[in-house]
Structure 1
Amino acid sequence: MRFAKAVTPPHQPESKMGFSLPAMRGAELPGLVSVDVQDLFPDIPDAIHNYGQDVAPVRKAAENALANVDFSRIKASDSVNVLCSEHGFGMMGGTAYAEILKTIRDMVVEKTGATKIKLGFACGLNKVEALEILPEHGLDGYYKGQTFQFGPYDKGVPIDTEIGRLYGIGVAFKANKIIHVHYDDPRELHFHRLNGRAMKAFTMSYARLETRSVYHTQFPTQSANIVPRLIYESDFIQKKFAFSTTLSTSPAGVIGVEANDSLVELDKVLTERTLRNYGKLVKLFESMDECIVVIDGHRWLNYSHAGGMTSCNLFFGPQDYLDLDLNVSRKSQNSSVKAIVINYMWKQAFAMSEIPVISAQPSISRLFQRRGVEKQFYACEGLTEAMEKAYEVTGSRKVMVFDGTYGAINCSPELAEELISKAPQVSEEVEKIHLPKWLKQRGLAPAH
């Protein structure tokens, strides 16, 4: 069987958050190939944008989506906080997400006359993220220098909800009005289970650490989703909420932009679309027999993309988190992941259960050794050596590279053959069994 050569992944910019940039990318490993996601599942929607492509279609899609929201909620005298989150800039280089943020500012000024508009950046770990990312995309200049960053340790503001008092980040909600700008890739299914996904940021981006902890640890995986929804539905938020805008994707890339005055209604649209667009690839990942994972993306270990799917979808399988009838655990369960080779990521010493971790460069090795991670850990001098160690430790030649790609999966020929051979059966099972059940569980009617 002949395959296409490995596709070039998104560029890795220098970052204080990251390790040293690697001398060799995972896609450059000899013999690696790529599998087009639409060859696996032809019904995956076409992209209007992917990494390195013109963002004009994204702006047009954003303008069309925003034409349907009620701008009268914003008065000319109002202060407005446009709230975004770090992960959106890790999708296809971040240019599509940035273009939506620019379009929103333009249309708020045009439609309302408001000029006191700030861009708020929710950081995943620390504020260095915003200091690097906003200038990279020209957003500091586009917002006339009116940008700010915030995180879960910043001063809180009390938000009274139906389950009691919770705490948001004060600076995020300081304006008269807020605009919530997000994205729909299916990362962290093991947390949200695609049940209220569009509201997740109201705990994970806009809430104090104590409230995030309620979401993370004090509810089982399904009922935790009540926390962000009740924050969103609180009187405090509803008085400030203008509308929400979301970058809409498929495994092929950006497919459009959605906007709505109601985040509950927007969540229904995004949930159905995500189930249809990503469900088959989720189940295909669950079906894999064995795999060596190469982490080579410009973000955290769990959030690098391969064919539009984040690595955590593989690490936390093979449980069907989309089936709301199943009482599943958040713990890593996927015995198909035999080893993790770290070529590049943002700095963290993080290991998955009993899965061996292999460092492909000394700067990564030093952090793991300094932190004393009590897992199977192997230090190598380069990617080639690390792969040889992975082959030795696992006895497998099946490799998948998580390097930020959408549209295709960079992998070894052995894994490509498995994915291609299993895709037809997975497609049939999802269409006939899983998708109708997933939709019914969420009160969404199957399309006729």
Structure 2
Amino acid sequence: MEIIGATTLLLIACIFFILLSITQARKQKKKGKLPPGPAPLPILGNILQLNGKEVVKSLNKLSEKYGPVYTIHMGMDPVVVLCSCDAVKEALIDNAEDFGARGHMPLLDRINSGGHGVVGSNGERWKQLRRFSLMTLRNFGMGKRSIEHRIQEEAQFLTEEFRKSNDRPLDPTFYISKAVSNVICSVVFGDRFEYEDKDFLKLLGLFNEIFKGFSSVWGQEKDIPETEFHMEGIVNTTFDLFGAGTETVSTTLRYGLMILLKHPDVEERIHQEIDKVIGGDRAPCIEDRSRMPYMDAVIHEIQRFIDLLPMGIPHKVTRDLKFRDFYIPQGTTIYPILSSVLQDPKQFKYPHEFNPGHFLDDQGKFSRNDGFMPFSSGKRICLGEGLARMELFLFFTTILQNFSLRSPVDIEELDLTPLMSGFGNVPRYYQLCLIPR
């Protein structure tokens, strides 16, 4: 009798959710047609069709069948996926206001109290926090010589730390994290930490684990209430600056050095350009970038190739709207797949290969590309883009001015595929030797 009762309840529950799904579908049909997509299961939606370890590959595979704009369901909620350079640009740039709200990410909400930081907030709160962040960064030297001097100083500290290795193999992970984080510390606190400071190392370890956690977490939308600007927003925005400003840049540097180990011909050409433009008697400065097209192209290609945040950060639409002949209801979660932009074959001749030529013209001059979107685009473009670009150029150039890179293992053994891939691509751990030049 108990078995019959349990079976009956299960059958009733299934019928209820099927009817609920049909009702929601009919309501949606009256309003308009969502982009096409795979048929969702009751309750689960399309979650079983997404490989948890390779979510982005699963999403790209679905786009081959349903097109560059399609719908999946996370549970009962529809999620619209944008999966090409043209589709992402049309949404985030051409319709920036309509696609300008932040979607929900469960882990991000737990970290910064439900959308109180500049990354996860919406509405008036987000506008005020973004204005505050930009003003603060400018006041502390963003775009000015003062912040450049701080990066140059930290790059020299990093160089001296590397020299202590005496050509022995080392894992660069925390060396680079310390240096990059100290740039943010100098902006926020006006001071830097010593590399052996235990509290500092604990903080860096926390950020590293958070980034790994993000690499396997993504969720569907829920409304975030809008509240006025307050101290909690300042605290969480500061946390956002540390997390985003440390882990993204340091991971790019770490991944980039591994790529250069794998491509010694690229490293050699960089050395030649550094010797010609800078020499060895002064520190690199940001003005050198315009005279170093190959270095600039290599850094852009590193960012494109590693595809650091392949899924981007979720958006949501701010009103009911028509997009490419489809209807998208207000509040719908949008996933602009940055991986599909950075690897769009219409934009890049060799989308899955590392090739600095993607950013060079026939005369060897630096050439911009519309498919370069590692910082996202539109109203939610990364507010630290300028700082990150300056850091990447000065750190990479200073390291390669002072050292030649050598791998303690055969370069054929170096694996450039990510250790983890989800929200973020996390590089595999490796060691390198830094040989003074």
TM-score range, shorter chain: under 0.3
Compare the two structures and name the one with the higher strand fraction: 1
Q: TM-score, normalised by structure 2?
A: 0.26
More helix by share: 2
The higher-RCO structure (CA 8 Å, 6+ apart) is 2
